[in-house]
Every structure is written in C-alpha cells, then in structure tokens.
Amino acid sequence: MLANAPFRRLWTAMSVCSLGDWLNILALTALAGNLTKGDYRTQSLAIGGVFIAKMLPAVLLGPLAGAFADRFDRRVTMVAADLSRFAVVLSIPLVGSYQWIIIATVLVECVNLFWVPAKDATVPNLVPKDQLESANQLNLLVTYGSAPIAALLFAVLSVAADLMRNLVPFLSGMDPTAPALILNAVAYLVSAALIFTLRDIPRRDGAISTPSVLRQIVDGWRFVGGNRLVRGLIIGMLGAFAAGGAVVGVAKIYVEALGGGDAAYGVVFGAVFVGMALGMFFGLRFLRELSRRRLFGLAITLAGLVLAAIAVVHNLAIVVMLTVLLGACAGIAWIIGYTLIGLEVEDAMRGRTFSFLQSTARVTLLLVVAAANPLAALVGAHVFTLGDLTYQFDGSNLVLLVGGVLAVAVGILALRHMDDRKGVSLSEDLLAAVRGERFQPESAERMPGLFVAFEGGEGSGKTTQSRLLAIWLRDQGYDVVQTREPGSTKVGMRLRAILLDAAEKGLSARSEALLYAADRAEHVEKVIRPALQRGAIVVTDRYVDSSLAYQGAGRELDPEDVSKVNAWATGGLVPHLTVLIDTPPEIGLTRLGGAADRIEAEPLAFHERVRKEFRALAAAAPDRYVVVDGTLPSDQLSRAIQDRVREILPDPVPYESEDATGTMPAIRD
C-alpha cells in the first residue's frame, strides 16, 4: 500500500495527526488535573470535563459537519483544519487556564469534524477499490498503534519538563504538560505541510454525508439485534471497551493517589495499548486450541477480574503490570469479536454491523468517561484505619471496581450466550488449550476410532460426498461405517417417518427437537459408539450441528437448550472432524427431486437461517471443521475433503499385510 506515493503522504499525515491526538488527550487531562490539584472532587470533575468536551462535538455535530465538509475542497479543508488546530493547541499552554482548556478542546474537536470526513473521503480517491480494505487496515493501525508511542513520548516529555523546570529558572513556572502540547501543535503543522503538497486530491466528488450517531445506532440495531451471536459479540465487545474506558477515564486521579506524576499517568495509559497489541498478536496463538467463542467470554471475564484487582492494589508497579494484562484481555476480545463478525455476518450486513459497533463504542466510551469522573468526585477520597493499618479508598477505586464487576458480568453473559461446547468442562478445555491441546470429552477420546460428520443444508451434496469418502477410505483398507441421521436404527426409521412426513403439520418445534435428539441417542448408542470402540471410521450424514442449525436457528429455539439436550443424548460425543458443505439454499433446494418433505417445504428464510448457523458453528471452531463450497463440481469437492481427512487418518496397515489382517481397524494413537 505504501508504495503508492500519494496515499503514503496522506497516511504519514494521518499518523502524525493520530500521534498528536493521543498526546492531546494525555496532556489536556493531565493539565486539567494539575491546574485543580489539591481538592480530589474538583480535580475529578475537571478531568471529566475535558473528556466530555472532547467527545460531545462529535456526538452532537458530527452529521452536520460531515455535510458541510462535502461542499468544500478537501485539500483546503484539511490544511485549514490543521492550521487551526495548530494555533488553538499552541495557545493552551500560553493561556494556561482551565476555562481555556475546555473552550480550546471544543474548538479542536469541532475542527476535527471537518478534517476526518475530508480525510475519509480522500482515501478512496487515492487507492484502487480492491486495495481499500488494506488501506483502511493501515489507517486503523496508526489510529490505535500511535497510542502507546504517544503515551511513552508523553512520559519522557513530562520527565524532561520536570528536569528543565529545576535546571532553568526561567522555566520554573512551566506546567510539565507544556512540551507535550507544543509537540502536539507541531504535529498538526507537519500534517498541514504534507497535505498542502498533496496535489492528487480531487476537489470533491459526490457526497460523503454521515448519518447521526443516534440514527446509526437505531438503524444498526434493527439489523444486528435479531442475531443472537452478533448480539452476544457486541455486548461483549462493548463491555471490554467500557472496562478500558473506565481505566482511561480515572487514570490521572488514580495514578496521582498512588503517588505518581504525569510520567506515571503516561505509562499507565500506554500500558492499556501495549497490552492490547500483545493480546491481539500473541493471545490467539497462545490459546489456539480453545474455542474462539469461549476465549472471547473468558477474556472479558478476566479483564473484569484484573480491573477489580487494579482497583484495590495500591502499588504503581503492580498496577502497570495488571494494566498490560487488562489491555491484553481487551485486545483478545476485540480481535475475536471483529474476526467473528467478519466471518459470520453476511456481506450485506457486515458494514452496518461494524458501523453500529463503532457508533455504540463511541457512545459507550462517552457515557463511561463522562460518568467515571463525576462518580469518583461524588465518592471523594477516604482513608480507613484499622489499628496500625491504613487503607485509602477513593472514588477512582470505586469506579474501577464497578467497571470490573460489570465486565465480569458481561463476560459471563457472553460465555453463556455464545458457548459452542456445551457439556464440555470449561476448566478442562482451558487447561488442555494451555498445554497446546484440544480437549476432547473423555467418552470420545477413549475410543480408538475416527468420527467424521457431514453437515449442510438441503441438497448440498452430503449424501454424495459421504458415500464417496466412505468408498475412498475402504479402498485404503479402513474399516468404515457409513451412516446417517435421522433413521439409522430400527426406532430411528420410525422417527424419520414421523419427522419428515409432510402430513405431520402440527408437530411442535420442541417435540421435533426431542425426536431428532431421541433418534441421535439411539444412533450413538447402537451404531456410532460400538463402531468407534472397535476402531472403525464412522462417517455420518448429519449429526448434532443439524439440530443446532435446523431446530436452533431454523425453528428459533433457544440454542442453549438444543445444545444441552443433544449433549445429554450423545453423552458429549463430538466428531473429530465435521465437513460442512456450504451451498446456498436456493441452489440446494432446486437439486432435490420429488415432493418436498416436511422440512424441505419450509420457506427460504428458514433455510437461510440454517445455512448461517452452520457457517457460524464452523467459524467458531476452525480446527474441527472443513468448509467446502457445495457449488463446485463433485470431484473437486471429494478431493478437497480427502485432503483434509488425510491429515487426521491413523496410519493404515500396509497393503502387504492386508491378507493377514482382513478388515483393518483404524487405531488412533
């Protein structure tokens, strides 16, 4: 991307501005704290005021400014905005009053409302369409990646300012935040110079009007609120965001209560972002065997516990380390949330889901930060004495504690809401993942055979492919049991007749789920488990996922209930591999001949929900699934499936010894 010279120039300007923006937050909140030092309540309110002044213009005036920005030449808009920001920020250390901090903050944020849409609208002018996603990723990288750099810079500048104040008498009255604010102003000036020389920006083309934040939230919820998984993801991500917001909001007064100055504030602020980066890059590698959905809920719960620990520990060094851990948990939750939304939300809805998330994240942050400091001010500073022991508990401690408890609650909610391994112990699952293994429930692990399930919608090609796989495996000399659901046992055949009889109109959704589970219980006990115990490879056409997709998503039963009933029916037996043949229902349904059975006759929306759920199940545990495109020709599908199955096949007995062994059991290590 950066080989593209005009984009590189704009990106450099954005990076410099991002660095300036983060320095701005740190320096202004620190300056507000320094100017109101002495009274805990006034100081908390003063810092809270800065956060509110920073966020309110975007919430109130965002769409208005976006519409205005459409009318002007974008390059001129950005250069003028940068020069204005330079002048206003430079004036803050010169004036040095709290009132001016608030006025200047509002002015800078109002100017930002022109700069940001002009920049957003310029990116597509400078990069080809197919590279737009990479360009946006790079933008995101500098937006958040510059935060720890700014925090480090702020800490260094604060220490340097303290030294200068002591060494140079002329500077003794200077606030330690002044160098950071001057550097912040210079960053905007550099950006103005870079953009001024960027001649490739067209004056303007078309509208870039932004709907109001409230409108985006209401519209977005209409789209995403109906999807249980997305709902869980968004609640969890906002919980993680709120936990981070609580730390950022009260960090200045909290650090001061621990005896730290501006440099320590910068370090704690930066620790959140360093932790986030570590979590995003290493967290998933460390626990790669754990189900993504479980990891998501666990990361938020742990973030809450860490936040609660931060609230009660009174040691700055430990607080910094805990803050890195908190950031790591939040980073893991964000990256999983973003990835799962990317994988599981349909193309048409994905953009809205992300924009809904971003708008709600902004509002959540505003509410958390706006509430955090006044709440801290309300509680005030308290010292408790018990004999020789004294313990200080301030409003900031309470805010962090409340944030921690809320994050734990949200994490547990997300775990319950989205768990895709019901019936499998969480602690055993986690311990196995720490060892780098995937925990298999005992019943499946003890058996020497191999269990492969085929899943997919109507006419997706499961029967065809499961047969072809069984033939291929038998050719290799394995003992293969090819079976299907429903209807592979005596009782199952009767159940199948009831379940698929189109005349059976009045069957309730719950009875349907129980009948499928009953067929499955019989199937596992009479066919699958005995075959696995003797070391055979079992290939089944449909298994538990079909109930999660058809009865859970299709009939809209509580997926937790469907999962529990099936975990009980199967004794927790999970396939080693599930092959999902992903075929759009409008194609699959037209492949079927004859009269439609009771389930095939359901409307298209039902089958679309089923497909979506199958894809979501596969995305949540990528190691245990292979997803193939069912619209490909049959032979290509077979080859792709064979390639994946080959990876988990136990070594077959050599061909030479075939005569001596007869049917070969597929003994797993």
Ligand X SMILES: Nc1ncnc2c1ncn2[C@@H]1O[C@H](COP(=O)(O)OP(=O)(O)OP(=O)(O)O)[C@@H](O)[C@H]1O
Ligand Y SMILES: Cc1cn([C@H]2C[C@H](O)[C@@H](COP(=O)(O)O)O2)c(=O)[nH]c1=O
Output 59 or 518, the one with its CB closest to ligand Y: 518
The interface partner of residue 464, options being ligand Y, ligand X, none and the CB cut-off 5 to 8 Å by kind, is ligand X
Residue from 344, 522, 600, 613 touching ligand Y (CB under 6 A): that is 600
Asked whether residue 460 is marked as a ligand-binding residue, the answer is yes
Output 15 or 460, the one with its CB closest to ligand Y: 460
- From residue 583 to residue 602, the character string flagging contacts with ligand X as x (rule: CB under 6 A) and all else as - is --------xx----------
* Piece in contact with ligand X (CB under 6 A), picked from 107-115, 292-300, 381-389, 632-640: 632-640
Q: What is the DSSP letter of 597?
A: -
Q: How far is the CB of 581 from ligand Y (least distance, A)?
A: 11
Asked whether residue 457 is marked as a ligand-binding residue, the answer is yes
Q: Is 451 helix (H, G, I), strand (E, B) or coil?
A: strand
The CB density around residue 53, as the number of other CB atoms within 10 Å, is 20
Q: Is 581 helix (H, G, I), strand (E, B) or coil?
A: strand
* CA-atom Rg of the chain in angstroms: 30
Output 103 or 500, the one with its CB closest to ligand Y: 500
* Piece in contact with ligand Y (CB under 6 A), picked from 80-88, 174-182, 484-492, 639-647: 484-492
Output 411 or 559, the one with its CB closest to ligand Y: 559
Q: How far is the CB of 554 from ligand X (least distance, A)?
A: 13
Binding status of residue 197 toward ligand X by CB under 6 A: no
Q: How far is the CB of 583 from ligand X (least distance, A)?
A: 8
# binding residues, ligand X (CB under 6 A): 14
The interface partner of residue 184, options being ligand Y, ligand X, none and the CB cut-off 5 to 8 Å by kind, is none
Nearest to 52 by CA among 13, 101, 122, 116: 101
Report how far apart, in Å, the C-alpha atoms of 97 and of each of 24, 33, 91, 126, 171 are: 16, 12, 10, 42, 17
Residue from 33, 57, 403, 456 touching ligand X (CB under 6 A): that is 456
Helices 178-196 & 132-167, crossing angle to 10 degrees? Answer: 140
The two structure tokens encoding residue 510? 């719950």
* Piece in contact with ligand Y (CB under 6 A), picked from 108-116, 284-292, 402-410, 543-551: 543-551
Contacts 24+ apart (CB under 8 A), 530-533: 531/449, 531/481, 532/444, 532/447, 532/448, 532/449, 532/450, 532/451, 533/447, 533/448, 533/449
Report how far apart, in Å, the C-alpha atoms of 450 and of each of 251, 428, 447, 479, 534 are: 54, 22, 8, 10, 10
Q: How far is the CB of 573 from ligand Y (least distance, A)?
A: 14
Binding status of residue 639 toward ligand X by CB under 6 A: no
The values of phi and psi at residue 529, to 5°, are: -60, -45
Residue from 29, 84, 460, 551 touching ligand X (CB under 6 A): that is 460
Report how far apart, in Å, the C-alpha atoms of 92 and of each of 85, 177, 511, 558 are: 11, 10, 70, 56
Asked whether residue 526 is marked as a ligand-binding residue, the answer is no
Q: How far is the CB of 484 from ligand X (least distance, A)?
A: 8
Binding status of residue 547 toward ligand Y by CB under 6 A: yes
Binding status of residue 443 toward ligand X by CB under 6 A: no
Q: How far is the CB of 332 from ligand Y (least distance, A)?
A: 33
Rounded (5°) CA angle 408-410-416: 105
Output 227 or 551, the one with its CB closest to ligand Y: 551
Q: How far is the CB of 630 from ligand Y (least distance, A)?
A: 13
Binding status of residue 85 toward ligand Y by CB under 6 A: no
Residue count of the chain:
669
* Piece in contact with ligand X (CB under 6 A), picked from 74-82, 243-251, 460-468, 650-658: 460-468
Residues 440-459 that bind ligand Y (CB under 6 A): 458
Asked whether residue 427 is marked as a ligand-binding residue, the answer is no
Nearest to 341 by CA among 234, 235, 436: 234
d(CA 295, CA 299): 6
The two structure tokens encoding residue 303? 């973030």
Binding status of residue 176 toward ligand X by CB under 6 A: no
Residue from 634, 646, 657, 658 touching ligand X (CB under 6 A): that is 634
Q: How far is the CB of 519 from ligand Y (least distance, A)?
A: 7
Q: Which position has the token pair 């969480």?
A: 426
The interface partner of residue 7, options being ligand Y, ligand X, none and the CB cut-off 5 to 8 Å by kind, is none
Asked whether residue 252 is marked as a ligand-binding residue, the answer is no
Q: Are strands 480-484 and 625-629 parallel, antiparallel or unpaired?
A: unpaired
The CB density around residue 424, as the number of other CB atoms within 10 Å, is 18
Binding status of residue 4 toward ligand X by CB under 6 A: no
Output 458 or 522, the one with its CB closest to ligand X: 458
Output 70 or 455, the one with its CB closest to ligand Y: 455
Using CB positions, name the residue nearest to ligand Y. 550
Residue from 21, 262, 458, 485 touching ligand X (CB under 6 A): that is 458
Output 166 or 634, the one with its CB closest to ligand X: 634
Beta bridge partners of 452: 539, 577
- Torsion angle in degrees (nearest 10) through CA of 585, 591, 597, 601: 40
The interface partner of residue 459, options being ligand X, ligand Y, none and the CB cut-off 5 to 8 Å by kind, is ligand X
- Torsion angle in degrees (nearest 10) through CA of 265, 268, 269, 274: 150
Residue from 136, 212, 355, 464 touching ligand X (CB under 6 A): that is 464
Helices 5-35 & 98-126, crossing angle to 10 degrees? Answer: 170
CA dihedral over 549, 553, 559, 561, signed as positive or negative: negative
Residue from 260, 459, 487, 554 touching ligand X (CB under 6 A): that is 459
Q: Is 658 helix (H, G, I), strand (E, B) or coil?
A: helix
In this structure, are residues 392 and 383 in contact, taking their beta carbons and an 8 Å threshold?
yes
Q: How far is the CB of 470 from ligand Y (least distance, A)?
A: 16
Positions in the binding site for ligand Y (CB under 6 A) = 458, 484-486, 500, 516, 542, 546-547, 550-551, 599-600
Positions in the binding site for ligand X (CB under 6 A) = 456, 458-464, 591-592, 630, 633-634, 637
Annotated binding site for ATP: 456-463
